Structure 1
């Protein structure tokens, strides 16, 4: 496969029904270029080929944006700048991609690994993403104002993901877990405090693999902790 370029970015966006400016395409490609450079020294991802990185990481995260855009008004009504937390963000996936494509969001990436946090900070500065922040911390110890959406792509089981982040979820907020196959066992073991809200199949253009989004909500009267 040829290395991704601006035309590839526009093709992926068109396949997903996403608006994409040339500037946004260049930011996505800039993220990929920095990931290639850092990966040579810091092993941020096991994927080495640029075309595979583009498809399995960037386009994979792009594919969730249409569903996210449709859902946001249902739990962010009256909010001008929804707050999103990307837990265990790693190489900024999906946090960086969503910050590029949805500039109306305030995105915070959190990770416990210093080199990953340093990478996301470098990306944020290089791509001039004023709506992207990063935290070097354990999420269960993070104390900040509540987030409207808390997401993860490769962080933990659904039970741990929701349990460790409950104190950060806004009263009407949602969790969104990006998964491969529908995590039947994880859903069966979920229990308190989260309740399954919706499992949404996800098609990633050019990727022949199962993907889904698991939407969760909190049905307990627990009040999230503000910072």
Structure 2
């Protein structure tokens, strides 16, 4: 690892990569634009002949079948080379990794991570005043406990906890997602808003509150 940037394929590929179908998107200097790609071992293959964008690609009914024979698609480069060219400061006229999302809005489906869920509820109740966080944390964990993973979403116990928290004015939309009966599908970010692999992200300089996300 160099300055926190992953330089090894094992750092970016899942353990079951040899048995998975992995797609992505690169900046392709051949066309001076983005190209959807298929990961084939240590190579990347151009799959734009199926669809020119990832959003269109994911609308194909039998996409897995269409990608079952990687050799049908031309090689655009070695994944390791493209990874190296994706680090901050590299020449962006060369092939480099882009965010795999393009024209589709970025969606998520709750469940929220337990640690993050509790902190979000505390932040919401504190209304930005971090000095109140310890007191609120004590009050809320006194009602729901400190291990939300033990509460089955939609269960009678979850309903009882909701009733108590509503009475105390401490119920939260985040808890509705975490322990309520229905999963939530929500928009995380609009189309074209995700940054590419290894890209810098900006944080507002006055930001001091940290919500943990695994």
TM-score range with shorter-chain normalisation? under 0.3
Higher relative contact order structure (alpha carbons within 8 Å, sequence separation ≥ 6): 2
Structure (1/2) with the larger strand percentage:
1
Normalised TM-score (structure 1):
0.22
Structure (1/2) with the larger helix percentage:
1
Normalised TM-score (structure 2):
0.22
